[in-house]
Amino acid sequence: MYNTISSLTFDNSFTRELPADNETANYRRQVAGACYSRVKPASVAAPKLIAYSKEAATLLDLSEAACKTDEFTQVFVGNKLLSGMDSYSSCYGGHQFGTWAGQLGDGRAINLGEIVNSKSERWTLQLKGAGPTPYSRNADGLAVLRSSVREFLCSEAMFHLGIPTTRALSVIATGEMVERDMFYDGHPKEEQGAVVCRLAPSFTRFGNFEIFAFRNDIATLKKLLDYTIKTDFPHLVEESLYLNQSSCKIYIKWFEDVCRRTADMVVEWMRVGFVHGVMNSDNMSILGLTIDYGPYGWIENYDPNWTPNTTDAKGRRYCFGNQPEIAQWNLVQLANAIYPLIEDVDSLKNALALYSTHFKEKWQNMMASKLGFRTFEPQTDKTLISSLFNILSLVETDMTLFFRKLALVDFKSDDFINQDIILKYFIDVYYIPSQLTNSYLEQIENWLKHYAKRLSKDNTPHQARCLQMDSRNPKYILRNYLAQLAIDKAEQGDFSLIHKLLDLLRNPYSEQPDKEEFAQKRPDWARNRAGCSMLSCSS
């Protein structure tokens, strides 16, 4: 049974159960003793639906027909509140680039309310870019078309890749202009504004806890944690009733759960070459969802030092290879934040150690599956994997294409491998053919021979290995330049490439013979173009 927009019903547990800011006027301020401030989205002049996700709509039991109505556009741009909505922005702090930044909060996010769908799943609806809130600090609360399209497409692409993420229901142009100085170099430009409607069971971040610990507001900290466990981690409550555990033990179990989910998420990023770009603790979801798509990017040529974020270009704190460690650093901040409720350093330290062991185990299994092995065999596979990454970084090698091509090679025996075969299968994965020196070719030949030997131990039939690898190594990802091409067109009023990419990325692991053009490595014109190779935080 489908809902219509006006028959959507809300069950707003966050605002019902947590302390609110008493002030309801919308001006920028420090908000103490409250988890959120009530605020209404701003109205906009001429909203126009750019795209919706039919899969995300089903989470609200909405049909495609409902998404095409004018009411949908009016509601999800923020022009109309439905009865039962209770809109608010949440208060959080965070560590940005390793430094405590104080109160941040939903500066341009407004939650509309929560829906419990026909499968009894709870989904919070949140508009991003719908105007200023008490947490907007010195910014405008708005979002531009380019960053909204990037968030919309990537959220849904990640979902179809099977990676934990917040979802995107819609992206709607506001018909109003927004001023942005994209490279912070004194050249502001007017850009088109847009609003994304995001969905998640909860948008709570590490920073939502950090702010109360920082302010020594332990009572509110406890309220938020008890609410979070009850609402988003009900399995822990059931367990504790059964085992009659103290709340302190449940808090530790909760933290262990967050550690595990965070590790799972980052392993998945490493699998597909996703680089978040701003892993500040306010951008870390307690559910282990990828959240806040800003200057993210996708690894093209394998380079663990690559960061898409221009603000991060010097320090490379958030580069691809650092992500596992940075996630743990953020977990340490969360551990510090909840410490006053636990006062047991050892348990928190053990949970953090669990992050490392859990990450390692998951990462090894993930790599084994990418390579088509039945299981990870430490004796052989540790060296095999580290030498592979070394070889991939010797010359510019497209990571995504490499793994797809590797699946194609039928390694009948190790004398099957020679340099002609390598060039036949892999030539398209290299960005700079002149880098393919004899010495390089010898190294990859050598590696492939070791790999062939390893495969022969498993003795998996070629077809079966190919299928297994293709189900773990995507063919289609939201390459940085593809997103930019879709944005270029959208800025001219043509949304067709957004729709095409949304459709393509529904089946990232399948061969789509009529869409080969989207599986090509980045063209050379995009190597240094803004939006394709480097992104600013300005959005």
Within 10 Å of residue 30's Cβ, how many Cβ atoms?
11
By CB under 6 A, residue 536 contacts ligand AMP: no
**Nearer to ligand AMP (CB atom), residue 207 or residue 372:** 207
Within 10 Å of residue 485's Cβ, how many Cβ atoms?
17
Q: Which residues are catalytic?
A: 282
**Nearer to Mg ion (CB atom), residue 107 or residue 201:** 107
To ligand AMP, the closest distance from the beta carbon of 284 in angstroms equals: 11
Chosen from ligand AMP, Mg ion, none, partner binding at 436 (C-beta under 5 to 8 Å by type):
none
Considering just the CA atoms, what is the radius of gyration of the chain in Å? Answer: 24
By CB under 6 A, residue 106 contacts ligand AMP: yes
C-alpha 520/C-alpha 469 separation (Å) is: 19
| Contact flags string 219-258 toward ligand AMP, x per CB under 6 A | ----------------------------------------
C-alpha 297/C-alpha 63 separation (Å) is: 32
Closest by CA position to 143, among listed 156, 132, 128 = 128
Site for Mg ion in 387-406 (CB under 5 A): none
Site for ligand AMP in 127-146 (CB under 6 A): 135-136, 139-142
C-alpha 327/C-alpha 55 separation (Å) is: 29
Sole window of 239-247, 275-283, 390-398, 438-446 interacting with ligand AMP (rule: CB under 6 A):
275-283
**Nearer to ligand AMP (CB atom), residue 53 or residue 103:** 103
Cβ 394 vs Cβ 436: under 8 Å: no
C-alpha 257/C-alpha 255 separation (Å) is: 5
**Is residue 48 helix, strand or coil?**
strand
By CB under 6 A, residue 474 contacts ligand AMP: no
By CB under 6 A, residue 372 contacts ligand AMP: no
Chosen from Mg ion, ligand AMP, none, partner binding at 278 (C-beta under 5 to 8 Å by type):
ligand AMP
273: left (phi over 0), alpha (psi -120 to 50) or beta: left
- The DSSP H or E segment spanning 170 is strand 167-180
By CB under 6 A, residue 104 contacts ligand AMP: yes
By CB under 6 A, residue 280 contacts ligand AMP: yes
By CB under 5 A, residue 292 contacts Mg ion: yes
To ligand AMP, the closest distance from the beta carbon of 217 in angstroms equals: 19
Q: Residue with CB nearest Mg ion? A: 292
Sole window of 106-114, 252-260, 422-430, 500-508 interacting with ligand AMP (rule: CB under 6 A):
106-114
To ligand AMP, the closest distance from the beta carbon of 51 in angstroms equals: 21
Closest by CA position to 334, among listed 289, 285, 297 = 285
To Mg ion, the closest distance from the beta carbon of 505 in angstroms equals: 23
Answer for which of 21, 114, 256, 292 binds ligand AMP (CB under 6 A) is 292
Answer for which of 93, 107, 201, 531 binds ligand AMP (CB under 6 A) is 107
C-alpha 129/C-alpha 106 separation (Å) is: 10
**Nearer to ligand AMP (CB atom), residue 180 or residue 522:** 180
Structure tokens at 444: 């990859």
C-alpha 171/C-alpha 104 separation (Å) is: 24
Answer for which of 265, 278, 444, 498 binds ligand AMP (CB under 6 A) is 278
> Any idea what the Cα angle at residue 256 is, between residues 255 and 261, rounded to 5°?
95
**Nearer to ligand AMP (CB atom), residue 119 or residue 314:** 314
Answer for which of 283, 309, 323, 536 binds Mg ion (CB under 5 A) is 283
Closest by CA position to 52, among listed 78, 73, 75 = 73
Chosen from ligand AMP, Mg ion, none, partner binding at 142 (C-beta under 5 to 8 Å by type):
ligand AMP
**Nearer to ligand AMP (CB atom), residue 107 or residue 297:** 107
C-alpha 51/C-alpha 499 separation (Å) is: 7
C-alpha 332/C-alpha 350 separation (Å) is: 11
C-alpha 143/C-alpha 326 separation (Å) is: 27
Sole window of 53-61, 283-291, 295-303, 458-466 interacting with Mg ion (rule: CB under 5 A):
283-291
To ligand AMP, the closest distance from the beta carbon of 396 in angstroms equals: 30
**Nearer to ligand AMP (CB atom), residue 135 or residue 159:** 135
**Is residue 173 helix, strand or coil?**
strand
DSSP string for residues in 65-107: HHHTSHHHHHHHHTS-PPTT---EEE--EEEETTEEEEE---S
Chosen from ligand AMP, Mg ion, none, partner binding at 207 (C-beta under 5 to 8 Å by type):
none
φ/ψ of 171, rounded to 5, equals: -130, 125
Question: Tokens 């609110």 appear where?
Answer: 20
C-alpha 303/C-alpha 357 separation (Å) is: 24
What distances in angstroms separate CA 274 from CA 12, 34, 172, 325, 483, one per listed residue? 33, 35, 25, 15, 14
Q: Residue with CB nearest ligand AMP? A: 107
To Mg ion, the closest distance from the beta carbon of 351 in angstroms equals: 25
Answer for which of 277, 294, 324, 508 binds ligand AMP (CB under 6 A) is 294
**Nearer to ligand AMP (CB atom), residue 273 or residue 294:** 294
To Mg ion, the closest distance from the beta carbon of 140 in angstroms equals: 15
To the nearest 10°, report the CA torsion of 220, 221, 225, 231: 30
Question: Tokens 């988890």 appear where?
Answer: 35
Sole window of 38-46, 170-178, 291-299, 480-488 interacting with Mg ion (rule: CB under 5 A):
291-299
Count of residues of this chain found to bind ligand AMP when the rule CB under 6 A is applied: 17
C-alpha 285/C-alpha 114 separation (Å) is: 17
To Mg ion, the closest distance from the beta carbon of 473 in angstroms equals: 30
To Mg ion, the closest distance from the beta carbon of 282 in angstroms equals: 5
By CB under 6 A, residue 126 contacts ligand AMP: no
Residue ranges binding ligand AMP (CB under 6 A): 104-108, 135-136, 139-142, 278, 280, 283, 292, 294, 537
Residues that bind Mg ion (CB under 5 A): 283, 292
